[in-house]
Amino acid sequence: MFRILFLAYLLTGSQLHAQIKIFEPQHISDNRSFGISIAPEGNQLLFVKAYGGRDSLHLFESRRINGKWKKAQKAFFANTNVNQIDPTFSPNGKHILFDSLLTEERGYDVYMLTKTAESWTKPKLLPKTINTAKHEFYATMALNGNIYFTRRNESNDIYVSKWSNEGYSKAEVLKGGINTKFSDSNPYISANEDFLIFISNRDGGYGNTDLYISFKNKDDFWSTPQNLGDFINTKASEFCPTIALKTKRFLFSRTIIQNEIRIENIYELPLRKLQLKKKRKQAIWPKQ
């Protein structure tokens, strides 16, 4: 009986691994790409071209025409004179967030474009309630407009700035079990703001950085993070989580370093394989 159960466990694990595949290797994932976001209608995407390192980081886009993604081109709002990263569509498709490094002294700041009847506005620097003299990066938005992002303190920590008619509130560090003395960053907030997927190099992971999930209760308190498991996380670095809302696919990036060169690609799998309902039932909240 034990042998049968063990074989079933191995089979399930191999099936999960088999469903993870490189996203669009012909036009997008070319060993030099990471940080994808797909528009909610499913016909436009943005990502970062990294060229094997971190010296040059540029934003690219692709369009899906007749069911096929076309060759990527420089994003319509990109400035290749500076490093730009972390493009994300809002879940209603009305905003694009991204980060730009104008100077090392200033650090990365978060910018936003807003869709108009004809096109998009020019990128606008988000207010000082979000951006500071520190690095702010990897911002994602919930349907209610709240923005979750990373700020680099002594380590990376995850913050939220809440939207109201008066604008964005002063960002606050998340309550609960998410932030630690380790690096916690790259927050993907769900559209309804009920769960958050992020990366961390905390103890107990499988590699350099792993993907984790946490759930929010009615008191805006976040549960102790659950590792997404070794069918996603490896001894390498997984990062930049996102969800394609139309196709219900979970996407993330992975970095493998070979001879001091970063090999980076985007991966995808069915969202259902994350077993969100099961993980929600298993969630444990630290004492407030």
Write the pLDDT tens digit of every residue in 231-245.
999 999 999 999 999
3 state DSSP class of 135: coil
Q: Tens digits of per-residue pLDDT, 253-271?
A: 999 999 999 999 999 999 9
pLDDT score at 220: 93
pLDDT tens column, 52-108: 999 999 999 999 999 999 999 999 999 999 999 999 999 999 999 999 999 888 899
* Nearest Cα residue to 139 out of 209, 88, 213, 195: 88
Is 17 a residue whose pLDDT tops 80? no
Would you state the pLDDT for residue 251?
98
Alpha carbon distances (Å) from 249 to 42, 267, 272: 11, 10, 8
Whether the pLDDT of residue 11 is over 60: the answer is no
d(CA 59, CA 49) in angstroms, rounded, equals 6
Could you give the C-alpha distances from 242 to 116, 259, 266, in angstroms and in order? 24, 29, 11
Q: How many alpha carbons lie under 13 Å from residue 38 in its C-beta half-sphere?
A: 24
Q: What is the mean pLDDT of the chain?
A: 94
State pLDDT tens for residues 125-162. 999 999 999 999 999 999 999 999 999 998 999 999 99
Predicted confidence band of residue 10 (pLDDT cuts 50, 70, 90): very low
**Residues recorded for the chain:** 288
Domains of the chain listed by start with CATH number: 2-282 (2.120.10.30)
